[in-house]
Each structure stands twice: as C-alpha cells, then as structure tokens.
Amino acid sequence: MVLRYLLRYLANSEHLVSRLAESYPVRRAAQLTVYAFARGRRVLSAERMRSLSQRFRHELEEAKNDLQDEMKKALSLKELPQRFLVSLIPPLTKHYRYVYSDLLGPTIILVMLAVLLHYGHASKLPSAVTTASPGKALAAYVIVVPTLSYMLARAGAAQIKMRELVSLLGYGLLGHVLTLGVSLLFYHEMSNTFFFCCLAVFGGLCALRVALVLLAVIPVPAARLIVCSVVASLQLLSILFLHFAYMHRTFVYGATKVRKH
C-alpha cells in the first residue's frame, strides 16, 4: 500500500521526472536506441535493395537463357492446335499442368483478336462508334494485365517466370477469340444471352485454367485468393468490355456525337 503511494508520488513529480530525463544514463540509453534503430533500418534497406537487384539480374539471365533455348528449339506449327486446346482445359491432371513459355501461340491469338475487333468496330452503327481504337485497348491489356499479374504473383512468392506468365495469359486470350468469334458467327453479336453463354463456356474455361495454374505455383494462401481472383476478373471483364465497346453494333460506349443537320 505504501509502495503504491510512493510510486504514484514519484510518477507525478514533474521535477523528479525532468531530472531523470536529463540524467546521463537515460540520455545515453535514448541515443543508443535511436542509433540502433537508424542503423538497423539502413542495413535492412541496403540488404533489401541488394536482394531485389540480384533477383532482377537473375530473372534477366533466366529470360535470356529461355530465349536462347526457344531459338534453338523452334516451335512447330503442328503443335499449336494442341496448345490451343490445352488452354481450354483446366490443369487437373499432370498432362495439362505444363506451362508453355513460347510466344508464337499468344502472338497468333492476339492477331486473331485484333482482326475480330477491327471488323466489329468497322461494322458498328455510326451513332455507336467508340472513340478509342481497338488497338489501343489491346495495347493497354497487353501491358497492364501481365505486369500487374506478375507483380502480384511475385508478392505471393509464386514459382513462375515472367515469360511463362506472359505465355499463360497469352494463351488465355483464346477465350476472348472464341467468345467474340462464335457470338459473331451465329448471332452477329446481337444476342446477349448467347454471348453470355459463350462467355461462361470459353472465357470461363480459359480464366479457370489461368487461375488454377497460379493457384498451384503460389505458396501463400492469402496471395492465392487475391492473385487468382484479380487475374480471372480482369480476363472476364475485358471480354465484356470488348464485346460491348467494339463488337455490339448498337451499344453506345463513349460514342461520338452525331450532329443533326
């Protein structure tokens, strides 16, 4: 009881507290604490920068080696139909879990998608023509989606290379081509019901494969949910955007204003 009153008195004594704060042991302890914190922060920052630079150099070296291997072993055009088919099949068995690293297949798919979008854009009614060209939309997708996906995957410590991720997402564009192409072929992009059925089948299968592959290579559980949901959502939402902005003949999205004479 007496000890409690004594401690309360000492704590409430401003003169005593100020004398203790100005004493050499307290000031020296504070200086050492601040020095240790600042020194540790600089060391950690330097080590982190060195680690990031080493990892970046390692990634560049691996990309260089992969490119050399691809140049030595050219991809045969006969293998492309099989790879296109694999991009629609979820990696549930060992045969379909292999992630290709070539860029020939994704390039062909991208060209087919560009041709489809330019044809749909040219077929729209004048009052519904979108101001932005399909090339700009495709360029934005090709730059933003792989970059964002790779950053999220690396944050989740994913065991996948940049070239493999780009190839995986490139083959995933086959869902865009099939969804827009089949809908154009049968209903000229005028039946939203048929379009959403194609989106669920073709777009859903490609997005599911990409998500399951990323799910298998990301060891962090929380990162799995974030990366897979973001990448799959970007794939499906991009199909929706391209359909209504460039393929649907009457849908107005950022359309130019037609002056009435």
pTM: 0.68
Do residues 83 and 130 both lie within one domain? yes
On whether residue 188 sits in a domain, the answer given is: yes
Do residues 181 and 237 both lie within one domain? yes
User: 3-state secondary structure string, the chain?
Assistant: CHHHHHHHHHHCCHHHHHHHHHCHHHHHHHHHHHHHHHHHHHHHHHHHHHHHHHHHHHHHHHHHHHHHHHHHCCCCHHHHHHHHHHCCCCCCCHHHCCCCCCCHHHHHHHHHHHHHHHHHHHHCCHHHCECCCHHHHHHHHHHHHHHHHHHHHHHCCCCCCHHHHHHHHHHHCHHHHHHHHHHHHHHCCCCHHHHHHHHHHHHHHHHHHHHHHHHHHCCCHHHHHHHHHHHHHHHHHHHHHHHHHHHCCCCCCCECCCCCC
Per-residue pLDDT tens for 143-183? 999 999 988 888 888 888 888 899 999 999 999 999 999 99
On whether residue 254 sits in a domain, the answer given is: no
Provide the pLDDT confidence category of residue 3 given band limits of 50, 70 and 90: very low
At which of 14, 38, 67 does a domain end?
Answer: 67
On whether residue 202 sits in a domain, the answer given is: yes
pLDDT at position 250: 81
On the question of pLDDT at 23 being above 70, the answer is no
Do residues 54 and 96 both lie within one domain? no
Do residues 25 and 122 both lie within one domain? no
pLDDT at position 51: 66
Do residues 26 and 102 both lie within one domain? no
On whether residue 97 sits in a domain, the answer given is: yes
Do residues 215 and 132 both lie within one domain? yes
Do residues 59 and 85 both lie within one domain? no
How many structural domains comprise the chain?
Answer: 2
Do residues 107 and 162 both lie within one domain? yes
On whether residue 40 sits in a domain, the answer given is: yes
- Please state, for a pLDDT cut of 90, what percent of the chain lies above it: 29
Do residues 59 and 178 both lie within one domain? no
Q: Which residue has the higher pLDDT, 172 or 248?
A: 172
On whether residue 260 sits in a domain, the answer given is: no
Do residues 112 and 240 both lie within one domain? yes
**Domain encompassing residue 216:** 77-247
